[in-house]
Chains A and B, each alone.
Chain A
Amino acid sequence: MKNLFKLLSIIIVIIAPNSYSFAAEKVEYLKTDWSFKGLFGKFDRASLQRGYQVYTEVCASCHSMKYLSYRNLAEPGGPEFSEAQAKAIAASFEVTDGPNSDGEMFTRPGKLSDKFVMPYDNVKAAQAANGGAYPPDMSVLVKARGGGVDYIYSLLQGYEDAPSNVSLDDGVYYNKYMYGNKIRMAAPLSDGLVEYGDGTNATVEQMSKDVTTFLMWSAEPHLEARHQMGFKAIVYLIILTVLVYFSMKKIWSRVESEV
C-alpha cells in the first residue's frame, strides 16, 4: 500500500503542473466569486435576472439560445421571474406559427411554451450577417469551452489593442483570452450599455459577471437541484457506510482475521 501511495504522489507531482502545458500561450483567466460553486452553490437570483437582460438586449441580436423556452425563466432554480413577467417577456417576441386552416404561416406573440426566438432563420443567414463567422448558440456555451465560466467572463473583458506584431484583418479583433487571440466578435459590452432596473451600476465587469452567470444557468438549469440532492446523497452514504463498517467489524469478530 505504501508503494501505491508513493507512486501516486510521484505521478501527481509530475503530471499536475504540466496538465495544460500544451496550450503553451495560455493566460491566467480573470477570477471572480461565483455564487454557484461549492457544495451548496446557488445562483444569485438578481444577477441571473440582470444577466438575462444583458443577454436579450445585447447577445441575442446575434446569438441564439435554441434549447431554452420562455417558461424556463419562471422555473425554480433559474432567474425566477414571476409567471406574469415571463409571459410578458414571451409576448414581446413575434413567433412564426402555422400553418393555419388556410395553409398559411402566421406570426403571433410568444407563449411560455415557445423556445427562445432565434435571431437568424438558419446558420447561413447568421454567417451572411456576421462576415462569415457563425455566432455560436449560447444554450450550453459555458460547458462547450475549456475554461468554462472563467473563460467567458475573461473573454468579455479581454479586448485590447493588438500588439504591434499582430496584424488584424477587417472585422477581426484582438482578445487576449481568445484561442489564437483573434476573434470575429467586436467587443460586445461597454460601460452603461444597458440600464439595470435594480439600479446596479452597469460596468463591463458587472455585466460580464451577470451574463456569464446567466449562461451557466442556461447550460445547467438544474444545478441548484443537483447540489442539494448531492449533499443529501453523500451525507446519507457516509452515515450508511459508518453503520455498515461497524456491522462488518462485529460480524468479522467471530473469525480470527482482520477485515
Chain B
Amino acid sequence: MSDHDYRPKSKVGQWFNDRLPLLTLANHLTDYPTPKNLNYWWTFGGILTFCLITQIVTGLTLAMHYIAHADMAFESVEHIMRDVNYGWLIRYIHANGASMFFLAVYIHIFRSLFYGSYKAPREIIWIIGIIIYLLMMAAAFMGYVLPWGQMSFWGATVITNLFSAIPLVGEGIVTWLWGGYSVDNPTLTRFFTLHYLIPFLILGLVVLHIWALHVPGNNNPVGIDIKKPSKDTVPFHPYIVIKDGFALLMFMIVFAFFVFYAPNILGHADNYIEANPMVTPAHIVPEWYLLPFYAILRSVPDKLLGVVAMLSAILILAVLPWLDTSKIRSAVFRPLYRQFYWILVADVLILGYVGAMPAEGLYLLIARVATAYYFLHFLVILPVLGFKEKTLPVPLSITEPVLGGSPNLAAARNRESKIE
C-alpha cells in the first residue's frame, strides 16, 4: 500500500525494521485511511475484537480451575463460583461475554447486510467472517456443555444426534463424536479440548479478516468507492481509535450491567441442575443466539431435511455476494431493498422467538412461514431486486453529502466541472 516508503527515525528502529518490518505494520495501522463518515454501526468490529480477547483471557483463567470430567465438572464450576478468588466474576464475564459476543456479531453482520459491505471487492472479508461466525457457534455450543448441567447434557445430546440424520453412516458418526454410546465423559473431554482450540483459530481468522479489509479499505454508509487518502478519509489513529473506544465503553456499560446485576438472566435455570441422563428436561432449548437456526431445524418435518435447511441457512450467507445482483452497495440508495432488509430483520427475530417456544400449533406454523421467507429473501428477492429496483442517484464522493449537498449525481457532476 501507500506506506512502503515509511522509515523509522531512530537507528535502532531502522536496524530492527529492516529485519522484521513490524514498525512498518504499526505505521500502516495508525495511518490507515478510513472513510470519515463511518457511523456507530462500524464500531462493532473493534468491539468484537475486545469480546474475543475477553473470552480468551477469562477462558484461560477458568481453565486453570475447571475439571473436565463428567463426575467433577459441575462441582468444579461451583468451586470456581465459591472458593476461587473472584472466580464468580471471571465466570460471569465469560458466560455473559458469549452472549455479548453474539449480540455484537449480529449487529456487525446486519450492518454489512444494510450497507452492502459483502459486495465486490470485499467478498473474501465476508466469507472469512462467515467462517468465524460458524466457529463462534461451535465454540459457544461446546462451551455451554462444559458446566455439565441439564441443558449442557441434553443440548449436547440433541445437537450431536443431528448427525444421525446422515444416511448410512449417520449412526456411526454419532458414536464416533460421542466417543461411546451416549454423551458421557469422553464427549465432555473432547468438547473441552475443542472449546479451548477454536478461539485461537478464530483469532487467526480475525487477523486474515482485518488483513483482507485493509486491501480495499472500509466500505462506508454511502457505499461508494473513495480515493485514499483524500478529503474523504481520516487516519485510523486518532480519529477512529477514539470513536471505537467511546463505542466500546458504551458497550461495556451494558456488558457490566449483565455481569453484575443479571448474570443468569440469559442462561437457563436447568443448567444449575447437574446433568442427569435419566431425567429429560421439559423443554430443551439452546442459548438465545442459536434460536433462529433451531427454529429452522424444527420447522422441517423430516430430520435430514431439517438439518440441511439449518446448515443452508448459514451457508447461504457465504454466497450472498453473488446472490445480490445490485451494483449499488448501500441500502440508503436502494428504497426497495431497504424495506426488504427490515422485513428480514423482523423475520430473523420472529424465528428466534418461535425457536424458544414449543414446536407445535401456531408456533410451528409461524416458524414454517418465517423459514420459507428467510430462503425466499436470499434466493428470490435479492437476485430479482438487482434487476428490477430503481435506485436513487449516488454521490461521487463522501464530502458532497457531508457538506450538505444533496446526494445527487447530477449536482455533484456540475460542481466538479465548475471546479475544473
| A residues whose Cβ falls under 8 Å from a Cβ of B | 3, 7, 10-11, 15, 22, 39, 67-68, 72, 136, 139-140, 143-146, 148, 179, 219-222, 226-227, 229-231, 233-234, 237-238, 240-241, 244-245, 247-248, 251-252, 255-259
Instruction: Pick 13 A–B contacts, CB within 8 A, sort by A.
Output: A7-B342, A11-B349, A15-B353, A144-B270, A226-B263, A227-B261, A229-B89, A230-B259, A234-B253, A248-B245, A248-B246, A255-B234, A256-B402
Question: Once the chains bind, are B256 and A233 in contact (CB under 8 Å)?
Answer: yes
Of the candidate stretches B10-18, B62-70, B236-244, B304-312, the one touching chain A is B236-244
Instruction: Say how far A141's CB is from chain B's closest CB, in angstroms.
Output: 8
Interface residues on B, range: 35 or more
* Contact pick for B242, options A144, A146, A247, CB 8 Å: A247
Inter-subunit contact B243/A248 (CB<8 Å): yes
Interface centre among B238, B260, B345, B357 (most CB of A within 10 A): B260
- Asked whether, in the complex, the Cβ of B242 is within 8 Å of the Cβ of A244, the reply is yes
The one of B78, B245, B357, B399 in contact with A139, judged by C-beta atoms closer than 8 angstroms, is: B78
Closest 9 interchain pairs by CB? A230-B260, A144-B272, A241-B249, A143-B272, A257-B36, A67-B78, A248-B242, A140-B272, A222-B88
Interface set, chain B 225-272, CB cutoff 8 A to A: 234, 238-239, 242-243, 245-246, 249-250, 252-253, 256-257, 259-261, 263-264, 269-270, 272
Residues of A within 8 A of B264 (CB): 143
Judge if B273 is at the interface, Cβ distance under 8 Å.
yes
Residue in B79, B234, B252, B358 whose beta carbon sits within 8 Å of that of A237 in the complex? B252
In residues 271-294 of chain B, which contact A (Cβ within 8 Å)? 272-273, 282-283
- A39-B253 contact, Cβ under 8 Å, with A22-B357, A139-B78, A248-B246: no
- Taken together as a complex, chains A and B put the C-alpha atoms of A226 and B75 apart, in Å, by 21
Cβ-based interface call for B403 (8 A): yes
A230-B81 Cα distance, complex, nearest whole Å = 16
Query: How long is the Cα–Cα vector from A229 to B259 in the complex, in angstroms?
Result: 11
Contact between chains at B358 and A22 (CB < 8 Å): yes
A227–B250 Cα distance when bound, in Å, is 20
A237 touches B239 (CB 8 A): no
Asked if residues A230 and B261 are in contact (CB atoms below 8 Å), the reply is yes
Task: Pick from B81, B88, B342, B403: contact of A3, CB below 8 A.
Answer: B342
Q: Is the interface of B mostly helix, strand, loop or mixed?
A: helix
In the complex, are the beta carbons of B242 and A251 less than 8 A apart? yes
Chain B, 329-368, CB within 8 A of any chain A CB: 342, 345-346, 349, 353, 357-358
A26 CB to nearest chain B CB (Å) = 13
Q: Is the CB of B260 within 8 A of A259?
A: no
Q: Determine how close the nearest CB of chain A comes to the CB of B337; give it in whole angstroms.
A: 13
Kindly state the separation between the CA atoms of A237 and B78 in the bound complex, as whole angstroms: 29
Contact between A251 and B239, CB atoms less than 8 A apart: yes
Contact A146/B260 with A139-B78, A245-B246, A251-B238 known, Cβ cut-off 8 Å: no
**CA A144 to CA B260, docked complex, whole Å:** 19
Q: Is the CB of A241 within 8 A of B250?
A: yes
Report whether B346 and A7 are in contact in the complex, using a CB–CB cutoff of 8 Å: yes
CB of A30, distance to nearest CB on chain B (Å): 19
Task: Among A22, A39, A221, point to the contact of B261 (Cβ < 8 A).
Answer: A39
Complex interface: chain A residues within 8 A of B249 (CB): 237, 240-241, 244
Chain B residues with Cβ below 8 Å from A140 are: 78, 272
Return chain B residues, CB-CB under 8 Å to A145: 269
A226 with B260: CB separation less than 8 A:
yes
State the Cβ distance, A79 to closest chain B Cβ, in Å: 15
| Chain B contacts for A255, CB-based, 8 A | 36, 234, 239
Kindly state whether residue B82 has any CB partner on chain A within 8 Å. yes
Additional 13 contacts, C-beta under 8 A, given A7-B342, A255-B239: A67-B82, A143-B272, A144-B270, A219-B272, A220-B88, A222-B82, A226-B89, A229-B260, A230-B256, A248-B246, A251-B238, A257-B37, A258-B402
A182 to B242, CA, bound (A): 59
Residue of B nearest to A232 (CB): B260
Alpha-carbon distance between A7 and B114 when the two chains are bound, in angstroms: 15
With both beta carbons as reference points, the residue of chain A lying nearest to B283 in the complex is identified as A22
Q: Which residues of B lie under 8 Å from residue A10 when comparing CB positions?
A: 346
A241 touches B246 (CB 8 A): yes
Residue on A with the closest CB to B79?
A: A67
Note all chain A residues with C-beta closer than 8 A to B239. Answer: 251-252, 255
Q: Which A residues lie within 8 Å of B272 (CB)?
A: 140, 143-144, 219
